[in-house]
Structure 1
Amino acid sequence: MLQPALDVVVPFARGRTGRTVVGICGPPAAGKSTLSAALSDALNLHDGLSSVAVPMDGFHLSNTELERLGLSERKGAPETFDAAGFVHLLRRLRAGEDLVYAPAYSRVLHESIGGVIPISSDVRVIVVEGNYLLLEHGPWASVRGLIDLVLYLDAPDEVRQESLVRRQLAKGLDLPEARDWVYRSDERNAEVIAATRDRADLILSRPV
C-alpha cells in the first residue's frame, strides 16, 4: 500500500507551501502504523519533504485512569483517549512551533509515553495515524479540519481479526479471552470507524 499512498501524498505536499498534515485512518489492525512509518520514511528520501510519523495512540488514557472511569474493558474506544489533547497537539503542529514533542504508545508497557517524538519546525510533512481521525462528535470533530489529506486504510475483516487475536495473546490473554476481547471491543470500535469512511479523501484497500 506504500506506493499508492506515495503517488498521492508526494504531489499533494509538493503543491503546497509550508507544512502538510496527512492522516491515515482505518479500523484496528488494518496496518495503519506500518503504513504511516513506511510513508514517513519514504518521504524523507524525497528532497524537501522531511517527515515524522505521529500516532494518535499516544493519547490513550492511562490504565489507572481507565480503571477509575470504569472504562478498562473498553480500552481503544473513542472515550478512552484524551481527544482534546490530541486536537491541541495538531494545532501546535499546524502552527509550526519551533519544537513539539509528541507522545507514543508502548505495546510492551501498554501505556502512553510522553515526549518521545521530537518534531522540529522544519519538518514538512506530518503523518498522523489513528482510528478516529474522521469522527464527527465531541473533541474529535475538530480533527478533520486540522488534517490536509486523509487516507483511509481498509483490510479484510478476517485478516484484521486474526492480527487482533495475536495482539491480545501477546498481552497474556488465553485464546477464548483474546477472541472475546476482539469481538466484544475491537470490532465494536471497527463499526464506529467504518461509518466515517466516506469522509476520507482516498480509500486504500490492503490485500489479503
Structure 2
Amino acid sequence: MDSASRPQLAPHRYFTREEWASLRADTPLTLDESDLARLRSLNDPISIDEVVSIYLPLSRLLNLYVAATQRLYKATRTFLGTTDGKTPFIIGIGGSVAVGKSTTARVLRALLQRWPDTPKVELVTTDGFLYPNAVLQREGLMERKGFPDSYDLPALLAFLSDIKAGSPRVSAPLYSHLVYDIVPSERVTIDAPDILIVEGLNVLQTPRLPRDGKAVPFVSDFFDFSIYIDADEIDIHRWYVARFERLRATAFQDPSSYFHRYALIPEEEALAIAERLWSRINLVNLRENILPTRPRADLILSKGANHLIEQVALRRL
C-alpha cells in the first residue's frame, strides 16, 4: 500500500522504498563491499544498494535527531542550572530472531561513526542481560530463553540508567553465542559514548502497569529513537530454518559449540529440530511478546521475502 492510501490518522507516515531513498539528499556513502562483508550477519544478503536506499536516509535522519536532542538536553541543563556532562543518544532496535537486527545495528553503527564529527558510537545487545543458563535451568526457563522473563531486567535498567546519566565506564555482562551462555567473570565496558545502540528481541516490551500508579520503568524509556525490523511470519520462519542449516555447516562444527550435537546428526533430523525450535519457542515469542511492540517503534523497516526493505514507516511528531 502506498503512502497516499494510508489513513491520515495513522501514528506513522509510510514510505515506499523509492520514496524513502529520495530522502538521502547528499549523505555520503562511507561503506564499501569489504565493510559490508564484515558487518552482515549469516544469511542476510544486505547489499550496497540497500545501504544507499535505506540506511543512508536513516543516517541522515538520525544525524538531525541527535543534533536536535542534544540541543534539548542543553536547554534543560540551562533551565535547571546544572553542569552535567553529555547525555548519550540511545537507539533501540527490536524485532524477531533471524529478521536481521544485528546487521542493521552494525551497519548503523558503522555509518554513524563515519559522520564528519566522528561521534563515539557503541553497540550492546540485550543477550548479555539474559540470566545464565544455570539460573534458567533452575527456574525451568530454558525453553523460554529470549522471552521477557528470561532477562535480568533490573540489571538492564540499571545499565541504561547509568548510561543515560553520562556515567563513565559502565559495564555489562558478556554473552557468547558459541557456548550459548553468559561468560563468567567477563564484562563489556561502555565508556561515555555519544550514541549507544541497544539491540534485542524485546527492547520495546512494556511490563504490566501497576494499579497503584507507582513508577515502572520500561527499557524503551531510555531510548531517544527506536527501530523495529518487520517481516511476514512465513518469511522469518524460512530465514530461521535457512540460518540453522548454515550454522550446522559453520559454527555448530566447533566442538565447543553448545549446539555441536546438531552438526553430528542427519540433516532430516536436524531440520525437524529446527522446526520444533521455531514453532515451540521463537514463533510463540514473536506472536506473544515481540510483534505486539511493533507499533511502539519510531521507525518500522518492513522486509519482503528477499530480505530487502520494501517499506518504511516513520512515527509522526
TM-score (norm 2): 0.60
- Contact 1:134–1:141 under 8 Å retained in 2: no
1:25 matches 2:78: no
Which residue type is aligned with residue 160 of structure 1?
A: I
User: Which residue number in structure 2 is paired with residue 73 of structure 1?
Assistant: 143
Secondary structure of the structure 1 residue equivalent to 2:69: coil
Alignment map for 1:176-195 (pairs within 5 Å): 176-191=272-287, 192-195=289-292
After the TM superposition, which of the residue ranges 101-110 and 193-202 deviates more from structure 2? 101-110
- Contact 1:101–1:115 under 8 Å retained in 2: no
Secondary structure of the structure 2 residue equivalent to 1:8: helix
| Structure 1: stretches of 5+ with no match in the other structure | none
Q: Deviations over 1:139-173 (max 9, x none)?
A: 98521211111111112333422332333854244
CA shift for structure 1 position 130: 1.0
- Would you say how many aligned residue pairs link Structure 1 and Structure 2? 207
Within the candidate set 13, 27, 32, 2:66 is matched to: 13
- Contact 2:229–2:300 under 8 Å retained in 1: yes
Within the candidate set 216, 238, 255, 1:162 is matched to: 238
* In 1: Cα distance, 2:58 partner to 2:280 partner: 32
Q: Deviations over 1:12-49 (max 9, x none)?
A: 11222232001111111111111111211211111142
Q: Deviations over 1:85-127 (max 9, x none)?
A: 1111100110111111223421111012365432212x10000
Identity of aligned residues (%): 29
CA shift for structure 1 position 185: 0.5
* In 2: Cα distance, 1:83 partner to 1:28 partner: 19
CA shift for structure 1 position 4: 4.2
* In 2: Cα distance, 1:93 partner to 1:115 partner: 19
- Contact 1:30–1:160 under 8 Å retained in 2: yes
Secondary structure of the structure 1 residue equivalent to 2:93: strand
1:200 matches 2:280: no
Higher relative CO (CA 8 A, sep ≥ 6), structure 1 or 2?
1
Q: CA RMSD in A?
A: 2.1
CA shift for structure 1 position 71: 1.1
After the TM superposition, which of the residue ranges 14-23 and 145-154 deviates more from structure 2? 14-23
After the TM superposition, which of the residue ranges 78-87 and 161-170 deviates more from structure 2? 161-170
* In 2: Cα distance, 1:7 partner to 1:185 partner: 37
* In 2: Cα distance, 1:95 partner to 1:199 partner: 24
Alignment map for 1:46-195 (pairs within 5 Å): 46=115, 47-113=117-183, 115-121=186-192, 123-137=193-207, 141-165=217-241, 166-167=243-244, 169=248, 170=252, 171=259, 172-173=261-262, 174-191=270-287, 192-195=289-292
* In 2: Cα distance, 1:177 partner to 1:56 partner: 25
CA shift in 2, pair 1:5/1:117, >3 Å:
farther
CA shift for structure 1 position 202: 1.1
TM-score (norm 1): 0.90
| Structure 2: stretches of 5+ with no match in the other structure | 1-53, 71-85, 210-215, 253-258, 263-269, 307-317
Secondary structure of the structure 1 residue equivalent to 2:98: coil
Larger Rg: 2
